[in-house]
Amino acid sequence: MFGIAEVARRAAVRLRVRVNPGVRHFSTALNYHLDSPDNNPNVPWEFTEANKERVKEIITHYPSNYKQSAVITLLDLAQQQHGGWLPVSAMNKVAEVLEMAPIRVFEVATFYTMFNRTKVGKYHLLVCGTTPCMIRGSCDIEGAILKHLGVKRNEVTKDGMFSVGEMECMGCCVNAPMIAVADYTKGSEGFTYNYYEDVTPKRVVEIVEMLRRGETPPVGTQNPDRIMAGPAGGNTTLLSEPKPPPCRDLDSC
């Protein structure tokens, strides 16, 4: 039997192994709320006139007695309109429109990591940190962006242009490592969410600088030897047209 001090020491060692704060940080920094002068329930918030029409249209996609099912879509629209994050007043507005208890809306906004409950940059850069991207160098990718921008993860640059977060697998492992860029510079009308794949530390810095200049870097793979998600350097199998399936001679059956 171990004494309580030994049990606590072993638990701390296990925790350090699983959660090495020098390497990985969870993304909770963006998903909790503390009242502040510009983010409290008394700050008025409303959908724009154009978005009010979109809200009406979105709600028609759901049965009238299940309109709360539109909560994710409306939160997404509110976030795009508000420059990439959801103040508590925007969540309260969504709750009011969908006739939901505000806590139900807060729960959704907190659970899904694509919703940000504190300010992000006009370009929110998300580095995939899941195993295939990590094996292919995602730590170096994130390190290069953070160093270039002079921020820590989840911090916003002083000019408000960029922030860097982490996401789990974004379904693009075949072209790992990859980042996604949420572009809030043009409001909900011009919002884009683009993938940049096969990135290197040098290439992500180039992408950041292109965004800063207002350019649109080519999306998808950044490896000139790869076409979309095909093998880099060209096909290695299935090099000719596949043969048609043999026709069965039904008379001989």
Answer for which of 132, 137, 187, 201 binds ligand FES (CB under 6 A) is: 132
Instruction: Single out the segment in contact with ligand FES by CB under 6 A; choices: 31-39, 54-62, 130-138, 229-237.
Output: 130-138
Contact pick of 27, 92, 130, 200 for ligand FES (by CB under 6 A): 130
Q: Is 100 in the site for ligand FES (CB under 6 A)?
A: no
CB of 137 to ligand FES, least distance (A): 11
State yes or no: residue 128 binds ligand FES (CB under 6 A).
yes
Contact, 156 vs 147, CB < 8 A? Answer: no
Using the minimum distance from each CB to ligand FES, give the nearer residue, 67 or 197: 197
Among 59, 146, 151, 169, binds ligand FES (CB under 6 A): 169
Q: Is 194 in the site for ligand FES (CB under 6 A)?
A: no
Told to check if 88 binds ligand FES by CB under 6 A, we report: no
180 binds ligand FES (CB under 6 A): no
HEC-encoded secondary structure of the chain: CCCHHHHHHHHHHHHHHHCCCCCCCCHHHHCCCCCECCECCCCCCCCCHHHHHHHHHHHCCCCHHHHHHHHHHHHHHHHHHCCCCCCHHHHHHHHHHHCCCHHHHHHHHHHCCCCCCCCCCCEEEEEECCHHHHHCCHHHHHHHHHHHHCCCCCCECCCCCEEEEEECCCCCHHHCCEEEEEECCCCCCCCEEEEEECCCHHHHHHHHHHHHCCCCCCCEECCCCCCCCCCCCCCCCCCCCCCCCCCCCHHHC
Question: Is 253 known to sit in a ligand binding site?
Answer: no
Residue 97, interface with ligand FES (CB under 6 A)? no
Is 169 one of the annotated binding-site residues? yes
Point out which residues pair with 243 in neighbouring strands.
none
**Residue whose structure tokens are 């992408």:** 207
With CB under 6 A as the contact rule, the residue among 94, 173, 180, 207 that binds ligand FES is 173
Q: Give the one residue of 78, 141, 178, 181 binding ligand FES; rule: CB under 6 A.
A: 178
78 versus 133: smaller Cβ distance to ligand FES: 133
User: Which residue ranges make up the site for ligand FES (CB under 6 A)?
Assistant: 128, 130, 132-133, 169-173, 176, 178
Annotated binding-site residues for [2Fe-2S] cluster read 128, 133, 169, 173
